[in-house]
Amino acid sequence: MDFNFTEEQIMIRDAARDFAQRELIEDVIERDAKALYPTKHVKRLAELGFLGMMTSEKYDGGGMDTISYVLAMEEISKVDSSVSVIMSVCNSLVNWGLETFANEEQKEKYLKPLARGEKIGAFLLSEPEAGSDATKQHTLAVDKGDYYLLNGTKNWITNGDSAHTYLVIAHTHPDKGHRGINAFIVDKDTPGITVGPHEDKMGMRSSDTHSVMFNDVKVPKENRIGEDGFGFKFAMKTLDGGRIGIAAQALGIASGAMERAIAYSKERKAFGKPIAEHQSVAFKIADMAVKIENARNLILKAAWLKDQHEPYGYASALAKYYAAEIAMEVTTEAVQILGGYGYTKEYHVERLMREAKLTQIYEGTSEIQQIVISRTLLR
């Protein structure tokens, strides 16, 4: 067992840290307050190669392993999860899904520009009435010979407006249940697509979350991913990897909050000494550290399994569940340590607390992770 990171992994972590601490930090509070899309930062993500970092070099990506991706996600999420979620969707869901399951023509046409960061992707699974139960897709894709005719509505779509390439999950044969689901690559500028208004969210307010409506959208037959009926498996397999990214995001939110709590507790004095020297604060920091280290180890194990091409669905569920839960706990305690300052926007931790909440909800709620974990053990 080797707990050391490679030279490249350290360099990637440091590059992500420099990007976050020098560039994202500058306007993160304003973008959150005004719900402004981080246009210039997404351009930088592309320039630095983070948007396609896990895609292999063959398809113009960075060819980095999952551990490197986890390290980068943590550093960026310490500062701004609105940006890291864009990176996560592109890497874990869209690019990985295409590289693993799309055919060569599809990879050439769609994956390469995504991996280069020239285009942004979005993953369209959730619906107004199909969230955790992904088998209840109401979006229909009717086979019309040369093309599928797509109708329906997708909800809570990260990159909903900024994306160029959608991966859409839809029913083609509702009578076949989850075996009647397919995944399609859809150009966002295809006629019949309407993007709903920007969701006014509690946290991660700088990422663009929208509903997307499909009204008689023609999707070429060659844009279906995999064999007929492969869509549900495609979505579930892809979400397994997505969980690692969101777990790393939750880890970054927690460790970012702890770093701020530590710095503040050394500076702030009460009753004649820094509050860090009061046991009640010091023990909170100790509890934070244990939780964060546990989360990190779970996540790195899941990432390592993925890199070893071993099954990682169970490990990623453990990691995502635990990291999201402790992100909520740690950020709440960080706000407590910063007291009144922690409750103001200037000190970041209240924003981290709002961001943490979403990690318990999206890409599989904590309860869904509990189902995955318990079913694995109890079957």
Partner 1 sequence: MKILVCISVVPDTTTKVKFIDGKEFDKAGVQWIINPWDELALTRALELKEASAGKIEKITVVNVGAVEAEATIRKALAMGADEAIRINTTAKDTFSVAGEISEAIKDQGFDVIFSGIESSDFNGVGVGGMIAEILDIQSVSAVSGIDFADDVFKVKRDIDGGFEMLEVKAPFVATVQKGIAIDPRIPNMRGIMMAKKKPLNVVESANCEPLSEYVQYEMPKPKPPVKLVENAAELVNVLHNEAKML
Question: Looking at the annotation, which residues are catalytic?
Answer: 363
Give residue 126's identity as a one-letter amino acid code.
S
Q: How far is the CB of 52 from partner 1 (least distance, A)?
A: 8
Quick one: 30 or 57, whose CB is closer to partner 1? 57
Quick one: 57 or 108, whose CB is closer to partner 1? 57
Answer whether 276's CB lies under 8 Å from 269's CB. no
Distance CA(139)–CA(169), nearest Å, equals 8
Q: How far is the CB of 12 from partner 1 (least distance, A)?
A: 6
**CA atoms within 13 A of residue 217's CA, in its CB half-sphere:** 27
Q: How far is the CB of 357 from partner 1 (least distance, A)?
A: 30
How many residues belong to the chain?
379
Distance CA(333)–CA(320), nearest Å, equals 20
Tell the residue number behind the tokens 């500028």, with chain if given: 189
Query: Which residues are within 8 A (CB) of 47 and not within 5 positions of it... i.e. 6 or more apart?
Result: 117
**CA atoms within 13 A of residue 254's CA, in its CB half-sphere:** 31
Q: How far is the CB of 10 from partner 1 (least distance, A)?
A: 7
Beta bridge partners of 185: 167
Answer whether 81's CB lies under 8 Å from 355's CB. yes
Query: Which residues are within 8 A (CB) of 314 and not within 5 positions of it... i.e. 6 or more apart?
Result: 372, 373, 376
Strands 269-270 and 273-274: antiparallel
Q: How far is the CB of 88 from partner 1 (least distance, A)?
A: 16
Residue 24: enclosing H or E segment and its boundaries? none
**CA atoms within 13 A of residue 39's CA, in its CB half-sphere:** 2
Q: How far is the CB of 63 from partner 1 (least distance, A)?
A: 6
Q: How far is the CB of 45 from partner 1 (least distance, A)?
A: 10
Instruction: Provide the binding-site residues for partner 1, judged by CB under 8 A.
Output: 7-8, 10-12, 14-15, 18-19, 22, 47-50, 52-53, 57, 62-64
Neighbours of 262 (CB within 10 A): 17
Beta bridge partners of 217: 150
Quick one: 14 or 105, whose CB is closer to partner 1? 14
53, 99, 113, 218, 352 from 108: Cα distances, Å: 17, 10, 8, 21, 38
